[in-house]
Amino acid sequence: MAFTLPALPYAFDALEPYIDAQTMQIHHDKHHQAYVDNLNKAIAGTENESKPLDEIVKIAGSISPAVRNNGGGHWNHSFFWEIIGPNAGGAPTGDIAQAIDAAFGSFDTFKEKFNAAGATRFGSGWAWLIVKDGKLEVTSTPNQDNPLMDIAEVKGTPVLGVDVWEHAYYLKYQNRRPEYLAAFWNVVNWEKVATLFAATKK
């Protein structure tokens, strides 16, 4: 069964002024679509064709570069559209807020660490908040790798992530990746992050 592009759960302009409509449209309709199409091509006629995406991602490093890049691209973007949204941002509450305080000392310290992970990821990649051995950690991955992959340097379950490829911000922020990262906090869907965090405890 071929993978398909999930619909964006809000309008392209819903994240204005933090992430502009044109970036969202190209990012979702062109970039994400290309990962889906190329993943389908890479697994067509192979034993991986019938596997769910989560399973493919976990073994992506041992399948092929095409599956690693495009399977990761499909997983990462599907995740990203869900953990951002309109009428979002601010500070987390509840269990996830307590866990962030416990792991990093404060929400502000966590944001600094996450932003630094995104800003210092050379070239293209992602910064992540993951659950590893029951604890929150910040990490980053190159290209379309993610912490679920067999080849990840730091493995864990992502509960928040940010795309720091230039295609995610260049139209509005050009070379100013830190400005994009600062704006990102206005669109974080903490309800979704809290749900993902709760799921890691089951």
Structural tokens at position 199: 């799921």
Task: Rank residues 84 and 168 by Cβ distance to Mn ion and give the closer one.
Answer: 168
Task: Rank residues 109 and 174 by Cβ distance to Mn ion and give the closer one.
Answer: 174
Helix (H, G, I), strand (E, B) or coil at 130: strand
What is Dmax (Cα atoms) for the chain? 50
- Determine how many CB atoms are found less than 10 A away from the CB of residue 160: 27
Using CB atoms, what's the residue nearest to Mn ion? 163
Burial of 72 (0-12, 13-18, 19+ CB in 10 A): buried
**Do 173 and 165 form a contact (C-beta atoms < 8 A)?**
no
Output the smallest distance, CB 126 to Mn ion, in A: 9
Output the smallest distance, CB 31 to Mn ion, in A: 5
Q: Which long-range contacts (CB under 8 A, 24 or more apart) does 52-55 make?
A: 53/3, 53/78, 54/148
Task: Rank residues 23 and 189 by Cβ distance to Mn ion and give the closer one.
Answer: 23
Task: Rank residues 33 and 157 by Cβ distance to Mn ion and give the closer one.
Answer: 33
- Alpha-carbon distance 202 to 199, whole Å? 6
Output the smallest distance, CB 16 to Mn ion, in A: 18
Q: Binding marks (x or -) toward Mn ion, 145..184, rule CB under 5 A? A: ------------------x-x--x----------------
**Do 56 and 159 form a contact (C-beta atoms < 8 A)?**
no
Output the smallest distance, CB 129 to Mn ion, in A: 18
Binding residues for Mn ion restricted to 107-126, rule: CB under 5 A: none
Output the smallest distance, CB 163 to Mn ion, in A: 4
Binding site residues, Mn ion, CB under 5 A: 163, 165, 168
